[in-house]
Chains A and B, each alone.
Chain A
Amino acid sequence: DADVTQTPRNRITKTGKRIMLECSQTKGHDRMYWYRQDPGLGLRLIYYSFDVKDINKGEISDGYSVSRQAQAKFSLSLESAIPNQTALYFCATSGGRISGANVLTFGAGSRLTVL
């Protein structure tokens, strides 16, 4: 099994629908992140969490919410999806500053299409 598992891998939905993307990890990492990737724009951080009680907004959090249900689980919700939220979404984890560095382990991605 993958260290970081994202579900669903692909989802097509309609404008206005509520969507949840789920992420679970077996790395035992405290830190979890949600990134969005759009062609030509690289990865942009949506939300991040350093532990179960710590949730922080990233650079593009508007229109999104998150829930850290447990150390191993971090879900991303789109309360009312809109077409410009069509993108590839990545969950990532890190063990924090082990050896002074913050290295990310990524999931395989969730491709979301909003019609």
Chain B
Amino acid sequence: SQQGEEDPQALSIQEGENATMNCSYKTSINNLQWYRQNSGRGLVHLILIRSNEREKHSGRLRVTLDTSKKSSSLLITASRAADTASYFCATDRGGSNYKLTFGKGTLLTVNP
């Protein structure tokens, strides 16, 4: 079963605008990761936030984590056409369970 669920399923914005994607999950986690997938290609790891962290930055990416609400958000600032891709959250429950569980993804389209 899916652990993470992204919202919205699809997002279309203009270049230069900010894009915010959300992820909700059901069980406690060790960390949450965001991945990016260009159309038909493999996923690429973007950023990881641990359960004891509330916010993390990497370049134009900002990730927040609210463990009380079991939710995370990914903000891409000053978006570019090259940011067009699908974005997936993945949860790691820790312990001996070394598997990542992926959500269904948000398709972001950045229009030039």
A-side residues, CB < 8 A to B, are 4, 31, 33, 35, 40-45, 48, 50, 58-59, 88, 90, 92, 94, 96-97, 100-109, 111
Contacts and interface: CB of A to CB of B under 8 A. Distances in A.
B78 interface: no
B79 interface: no
Contact of B100 (A88, A104, A108): A104
Given A96-B98, A101-B48, A101-B92, A90 B43 contact: yes
B36 to A, nearest CB: 11
Given A101-B92, A103-B48, A43 B42 contact: no
B63 to A, nearest CB: 14
Say whether chain A's binding surface is mostly helix, strand, loop, or mixed: strand
B99 interface: yes
B88 interface: yes
15 contacts: A40-B104, A42-B88, A44-B102, A58-B99, A59-B1, A88-B40, A94-B98, A96-B98, A97-B98, A100-B30, A103-B33, A106-B43, A107-B42, A108-B42, A111-B40
Contacts of A96: 98
Contacts of A92: 43
A42 B31 contact: no
B50 A100 contact: yes
B88 A103 contact: no
A102 B98 contact: yes
Contacts of B101: 45
B99 A43 contact: no
Given A50-B98, A96-B98, A101-B92, A42 B44 contact: no
B14 interface: no
Contacts of B12: none
Contacts of B90: 104
B40 to A, nearest CB: 7
A114 to B, nearest CB: 18
A88 B103 CA distance: 16
B57 interface: no
Contacts of B48: 101, 103
A21 to B, nearest CB: 14
